[in-house]
Amino acid sequence: MIQDWCVENRSYGVERIPTPRVPVTPYDVSETCKRVNDATRRGEQKKCRELVRKIKNWGKESERNKRCIVANGSGCVLSACFESFASVSVGRDEGLLGEILSVLVWMFPLGEEGQSKLASVRSLNCLVWFLKSGDLSARQNAALVLKNLLALDQKHASALVAIEGVFAALVKLIKEPICPTATKASLMAIFYMTSPSSLNEKMIPMFVEMGLVSVIIEILVDGDKSISEKALGVLDHICDCKEGREKAYENALIVAVLIKKILRVSGLASELSVSILWKLFKNSKNRSEDEDAEGGVVVEALQVGAFQKLLVLLQVGCGDSTKEKLKELLKLLNLCRVRLDCFDSTADFKYLKRSY
């Protein structure tokens, strides 16, 4: 009756209300998953794609449907289907595999079995193929799935080292962005891959060779809060490595960009910026003397107002680890200020507490 009234009054701008759909039931999901399993075992690509689309459409209807789908084992079933067809021919089954990826992005966590299927060498090779060669939507979905997989267990990164093109594909998503979601997913995947560990330390030089440092600094110039935090997290990991720090020293914008982010983005961004500056200052002493690296970095920091900003941050408050780094940085800056007499004593300290 309501819909009939809407139709009668559409000339007044009234839109017809869509018919509410019946929510999917656990039985519906379980039965469909069984059919997916059967079709996968028989290698019926067309049937699998039809069933995956059915699950995808259920998920589009409501968040309630998504919860029901996830709770009834769909993630594990689709991961197994993805692995099975990834081992045959990615090019031939690209449509099916792409459909599965588009559903898996909202199915995490997958459970132990589903995770192992998706983290297999065959599945990871297929994910990287989509990162490199898929259309824009497929590349985004591959980055999201890879990010979620690494978030569950960073040990999966070890299998990625041997896959050709994974480093370049992730960097390309940041260097040539297709959308903010893909950029953030790629940054987080790199963040997990470069997290401190004996294995991941070997990955940092590979990312540095791809020009990641300059790409990160470029997006930090005008990146929003979320992208800035993720980019700073990656840069902080990269500066744990000598090769990463060398590239950072070479970039003329690094110090100014880091100082700019302090107290202007978020507490996390401020702490990460301090951590990166501390690593650059601390390790600059180990560079060759003829480069005058330490003096260059410290003087540049003074010129862009680092002393004032770090002093304010110390007063505003931060974590204990960051506080210790701040004190070390301020000592270095003060020594350089006195030695070179390059600090303007009339600098504006109006934001400092009188009790300091």
pLDDT digits (tens, 9 = 90+) for 55-87: 999 999 999 999 999 999 999 999 999 999 987
Count CB neighbours of 127 within 10 A.
28
> Which string of b and e fits 37-72 if b means at least 16 CB within 10 Å?
bebbeeeebebbbebbeebeebbeeeeebbebbbeb
15: its two tokens: 């839109």
Nearest-angstrom CA–CA distance, 179 and 26: 34
Q: Is the dihedral of CA 292, 293, 294, 298 positive or negative?
A: positive
CA distance 290 to 294: 11
C-alpha–C-alpha distance, residues 188 and 330, integer Å = 31
298, two tokens: 């410290």
Give counts: helices (H), strands (E), the chain.
21, 0
Cα separation of 205 and 164, whole Å?
15
15 C-beta neighbours (distance < 10 Å), count: 9
Q: Report DSSP letters for 172-219, one per residue.
A: HHHHS-S-HHHHHHHHHHHHHHTSSSTTGGGHHHHHHHTTHHHHHHHH
- Cα separation values, 48 from 36, 42, 51, 65, 258, Å: 6, 10, 5, 20, 50
User: Taking Cα atoms as reference points, which of 274, 281, 222, 272 lies closest to residue 248?
Assistant: 281
Tokens representing residue 355 in the block:
């009790």
Give the whole-angstrom CA distance, residue 333 versus residue 137.
Answer: 48
- The DSSP call for residue 23 is P
* Helix/strand/coil for 298: helix
| Amino acid symbol at 31 | E
- The structure's pTM equals 0.84
**Strand extents, DSSP E, 29-104:** none
Give tens-digit pLDDT for 82-128: 999 987 666 778 899 999 999 999 999 888 899 999 999 999 999 99
The sign of the CA dihedral 168, 170, 173, 176 is negative
pLDDT in tens, the chain (356 residues): 888 888 888 888 888 777 777 889 999 999 999 999 999 999 999 999 999 999 999 999 999 999 999 999 999 999 999 999 987 666 778 899 999 999 999 999 888 899 999 999 999 999 999 999 889 999 999 999 999 999 888 777 878 888 888 999 999 999 999 999 999 999 999 999 988 775 667 788 999 999 999 999 999 998 899 999 999 999 999 999 899 999 999 998 999 999 999 988 899 999 999 999 999 988 876 554 444 444 578 888 888 888 888 889 988 888 888 899 999 988 888 887 766 654 444 444 444 444 43
- Sequence letter at residue 10: R
Instruction: Tell how far CA 111 is from the center of its chain.
Output: 22
Cα–Cα distance measured from residue 81 to residue 262, given in angstroms and rounded to the nearest whole number: 47
Name the residue among 224, 156, 218 with its Cα closest to residue 192: 156
Q: Which pairs with CB-CB distance under 8 Å and at least 24 residues apart come from 38-44? A: 40/80, 40/81, 40/84, 40/85, 43/84, 43/88
